[in-house]
Amino acid sequence: MVAHVIPQPLSTLETRDRPVNQISEFKFSVPVSTHEPAGRSVKVSAKGVTVHYGDKQAIFPLNVEIADKSVTAFIGPSGCGKSTFLRCVNRMNDMIPSCRVGGQLFMDGANIYDKSVDPVRLRARVGMVFQKPNPFPKTIYENVAYGPRIHGLSRSRGELDEIVKTSLEKAGLFGEVKDRLHDSGTGLSGGQQQRLCIARAIAVNPEVILMDEPCSALDPIATAKIEELIDELRENYCIIIVTHSMQQAARVSQRTAFFHLGNLVEEGETTQIFTNPRDERTQNYITGRFG
């Protein structure tokens, strides 16, 4: 029998509970993901993207390529522009009247800020999970079924049931809620609510999933579950996650981008960013000297 190396899930508990004061050693013990497919294709790429809120510039010309079927983490101190850039990818910034986006942002080679692109169509392809779990104040079933229903993804009630079931299964929630699909989604625990929000996002069958600090309102156990889930989901989706936890970035991502004061300072393989950063600011941030 051929010995088969089973890839370790990245969210092993050894790094999770590491105290903060050991963070300088931490960079030498980053769990390294060894099962990366070679030559991932580029899903999203930014060319000179800038963002202004009124007169204030939030993002300075930014270039980055984000790979498909992998997890890219955005890290950096508060107010560095990482969430702002994330919200450019599904044009959520369109909601803020004072916000202006410049430059070009490509998805599969097409500029999503082109006049011909309807943001509604874009958001059907780019799902989003928010910082605070925000299920609709409706039933668990309705939370997941809403997206497929408005986009007409099912032709019958049975098909819709199937979408809801597989989405909840993919989000690792089906087992816990299968007997109460018609109870309110807001009655779930925080971690379950966040997985419900992930199920709601994947029910629309997107290609990219944006996660804006998805675990910051959750306890460590719920966080571990979400991280495992992210690791499973990257088989099929391009995932971009904003996080304040460097351990989380190290655990779940293949590539990491470090933002500082509206600039993308450095982007590269997660291992490289955490073990051998090129820029001094990255070095200072990951060793806890500021931020």
Partner 1 sequence: MAITYGTGVPESKATSSEEFDRRLRRRRRSEFIFACLGLLATSVGLFALAILVIDLAMTGLQRLDVSFFTNYPSRRAGQAGILSAWVGSLLVTIVTGLVGVPLGVSAAIYLEEYAPTNWMTNIIEINVSNLAGVPSIVYGLLALGLFIYGFGTGRSILTAGLTLGLLILPIIIVATREALRAVPSSLREAAYGVGATQWQVTKDHVLPAAMPGVLTGVIIGISRALGETAPLVTIGALSFIAFLPPSPITLEFPFISFAWLFEGFTVLPIQAFNWVSRPGHDFQTNAAAAGLVLLAITLLLNGVAIYFRYRLRKRLQW
Binding string, 148-177, against partner 1, x = CB under 8 A? --xx--------------------------
CA dist 49 and 160 (Å) reads 38
CA dist 72 and 43 (Å) reads 11
Cβ proximity to partner 1: between 1 and 95 the closer is: 95
Cβ proximity to partner 1: between 134 and 272 the closer is: 134
CB of 257 to partner 1, least distance (A): 22
Q: What is the DSSP letter of 41?
A: P
Interface residue with partner 1, options 7, 37, 79, 187 (CB under 8 A): 187
Residue 236 binding partner 1, by CB under 8 A: no
Residue 40 binding partner 1, by CB under 8 A: no
Burial class (CB in 10 A: 0-12, 13-18, 19+), 93: buried
Sign of torsion, CA 188 149 120 95?
A: negative
Give how many residues touch partner 1 by CB under 8 A: 29
Residue 240 binding partner 1, by CB under 8 A: no
Q: Which of residues 106-135 bind partner 1 (CB under 8 A)?
A: 120-124, 127-128, 130, 132, 134-135
CB of 187 to partner 1, least distance (A): 6
CA dist 284 and 27 (Å) reads 12
CB of 280 to partner 1, least distance (A): 36
Cβ atoms of residues 228 and 251 within 8 Å: no
Residue 93 binding partner 1, by CB under 8 A: no
CB of 287 to partner 1, least distance (A): 34
111-123 CB burial, b ≥16 within 10 A, e <16: ebbeeeeeeeebb
Q: Which two tokens stand for residue 88?
A: 């450019």
Return all residues near 253 (Cβ < 8 A) that are at least 6 apart.
70, 71, 72, 73, 241, 270
Q: Which stretch binds partner 1 (CB under 8 A): 61-69, 90-98, 173-181, 268-276?
A: 90-98
CA dist 123 and 32 (Å) reads 32
Residue 37 binding partner 1, by CB under 8 A: no
CA dist 166 and 173 (Å) reads 10
Residue 44 binding partner 1, by CB under 8 A: no
Interface residue with partner 1, options 50, 136, 261, 275 (CB under 8 A): 136
Cβ proximity to partner 1: between 203 and 246 the closer is: 203
Residues in a beta bridge with 71: 239
Residues of the shown chain interacting with partner 1 in the complex, contacts defined by CB under 8 A: 90, 92, 95, 97, 120-124, 127-128, 130, 132, 134-137, 146-147, 150-151, 184, 186-187, 197, 200-201, 203-204
